[in-house]
Amino acid sequence: MHDVRVIGIRAFWSSLPTEGRWLLSTVAIQTLGRGLTLPFTIIYLHEVRGFDLGLSGTLMSLIAIAGLVVTGPGGSLTDRLGARTVLLAGCASMAAGNVLLAFATTPAGAAVALVLIGINFGVSWPAFNALIAAVVEGDLRQKYFGVNFALVNLGIGVGGIVGGLYVDVSDASTFTAIFLLDAATGLIPAALLLGPLRRVSGRAEPPDEDGTAEPPSYRAILRRPEVLWLSGLTFVAVFVGYGQFEAGFPGYGRQVAEVSTRVVGLAFAVNTAVIVVLQFTVLNRISGRRRTRVIAVMAVVWAASWLLLGAAGLVPASALAAIGMLAFMGVFAFGETLMQPTVPAIANDLASDHTRGRYNAISAGAFQAGAIAGPVVAGFLLEHDLASAYVGLMVVGCLGIAAMAYALERRIPPAANGVPGDAAIDPSAGAGDPAAPPAVVPD
C-alpha cells in the first residue's frame, strides 16, 4: 500500500503509478482552452453573433441539459465498453462542438454545437473519474482527486485571464481563435489515450466465472441507502455552491452589495488562487481522516462564507462590501478544497470495479441537477428582493449538508470513509450497511 501521509508534491508524484502521472501531467493545459471560452461564450452569442440575450441564455442551458440527459447512458457505456472508449468519444464530441461553434452564425448551428459540448461533459465526467479509480487506489486516490481539481482550476483561471485580454467583441476572429484553441487542447486527452494510455481500458469484467453476467443496474445501485444519501448531499452542496456561481453570487454582488463587475471578476480570481495554493496542504491534513467529518467541516466553512456575503449586502456600494465579496470567495474556496477530494473518493470506494461508471454517473447527475436548480432559485429570490431569504436558504442548506454527512457516516464502510489500517475494524469508526455487496473496497 502507498504511504498516504507523504508530504510534498514530489513525494506525491513519486507515489503515483505511471498511468496516473500521464493522466495528471496535462490537466492544466487541457482545461486552459475551456477557461478561454467558458466566461465568454454568452458574450460571443449575444454581442458577436447578434442573438438576443434571452435566446443566448437558452442556448447556454443546452450544455447542462444535454449533459444531464446523457450522463446515465454514459455511465452504463463506461462499465460496458470501458472508460477509455467513452472518453475518446467525448473528446471527439467536444472538439466537433467547439469547431462548429467557432463558425456558427445561426441559432440552430450554435444549438447543435452546444449540445455536442454538453454531451462531452455528460459522458466524460463519469468516465474520467472511473479511469482515475482504475489506476490509483486507496487514500492516494483521494489526493489525486484533490490535485486534479486544483489543476483544473489553475487551467481555467489562467485561460480566463488570457481570454479576457485577447478577445474583442468588435473582431469575431478573436472568438473563432479561442474556440478553435479549446477544440485543440481538448484533444490532448485523446492523444494520451491513443498513445501512452492505450492499454488502460478502465473496464473490469463482472465477478463471475464465465464473465457473462450483466453489471448491476442503476435501480439496484440506487437501492443502497448510502448512495441515496451521498447523492442528496452532492445535490445540496452544488445547489448552495457551484450552482450560485453563474447567477446567485454575481446577481447578489451587483444588486444587493452593489459592487463593480471588476470586484466580481476579482472574486473569481481569488477563488482560483486559494484553491491552487491550499489544495495540497489540505490534502495532507485530511489524509486518513473520516471523509464524512471533512465534509461536515466544509459545510460549516461554507455557512460562514455565506454569512460574510450577507454582511456585504448590509453595507452596499462600499469598500466593506467589496471586501465581503472577496472574503466570501476566499473562504468558500477553502471549503472546496475539502469537498472535491472526498466526495468522488467515497463514490468510487463504494463502487466495485465493474460498476464505477454508473456510480460516477449518479454523482455527476446529482451535481448537474444542483447546478441547474441553483440559478433558478437564486434568480427568483433576488428578482423578488428576497436577499435575506436567499442568504438564509444558503446557510440552512450548508447546515443540511453537515447533517447528511453524519447520516452518511453511519451507512458506509470505514474503508470508503477513508479510515485506514486497524481503524477499519473498529466499530466506533463507523459501520457499513450489512446488506451492502462485498465489493465496497476496490482492489
Q: Going residue by residue through the chain (443 aa), what tens digit of pLDDT does each one get?
A: 334 444 467 778 888 888 888 888 888 888 888 888 887 888 889 889 999 878 888 888 888 889 999 999 999 999 888 888 999 999 999 999 999 999 999 999 999 999 999 999 999 988 988 888 888 877 788 888 888 888 888 888 888 888 888 888 899 999 999 999 999 998 888 898 898 888 776 666 666 545 545 457 899 899 999 999 999 999 999 999 988 887 788 889 988 999 887 888 888 889 999 999 999 899 989 988 999 999 999 999 999 999 999 999 999 999 999 999 999 999 999 999 999 999 999 999 998 888 888 999 999 999 989 988 888 888 889 888 999 999 999 999 999 999 999 999 999 999 899 886 544 444 333 333 333 333 332 32
Assess whether 234 and 96 both reside in one domain: no
Assess whether 136 and 77 both reside in one domain: yes
The cell 489515450 sits on which residue? 193
The model's pTM is 0.81
Assess whether 355 and 256 both reside in one domain: yes
Assess whether 48 and 161 both reside in one domain: yes
CATH number at residue 90: 1.20.1250.20
Count: domains in the chain = 2
Assess whether 163 and 232 both reside in one domain: no
Q: Is residue 230 part of a domain?
A: yes
Assess whether 42 and 133 both reside in one domain: yes
Assess whether 167 and 222 both reside in one domain: no
Measured CA to CA, the distance from residue 54 to residue 51 in angstroms comes to: 8
Q: Which residues contact 93 (CB under 8 A, 6 or more apart)?
A: 116, 117, 119, 120, 123
Assess whether 309 and 403 both reside in one domain: yes
Q: Is residue 157 part of a domain?
A: yes
Domain that holds residue 355: 215-443
Yes or no: say if 253 and 263 are a contact pair by the CB < 8 Å rule.
Answer: yes
For 407, the 3-state DSSP assignment is helix
What pLDDT does residue 10 have?
78
Assess whether 396 and 301 both reside in one domain: yes
Q: Is residue 12 part of a domain?
A: no
Assess whether 292 and 181 both reside in one domain: no
Q: Is residue 208 part of a domain?
A: no
What separation in angstroms does the CA of 86 have from each of 91, 125, 154, 322? Answer: 9, 10, 25, 44
Measured CA to CA, the distance from residue 59 to residue 57 in angstroms comes to: 5
Assess whether 250 and 347 both reside in one domain: yes
Hey, what amino acid is at 281? T
Q: How far apart are the first and last CA of the chain?
A: 11
Assess whether 394 and 342 both reside in one domain: yes
Hey, what amino acid is at 255? Q
Write b or e for each residue in 114-135: b if 16 or more Cβ atoms lie within 10 A of its Cβ, otherwise e: bbbbbbbbbbbbbbbbbbbbbb
Yes or no: say if 114 and 101 are a contact pair by the CB < 8 Å rule.
Answer: yes
What pLDDT does residue 202 have?
63
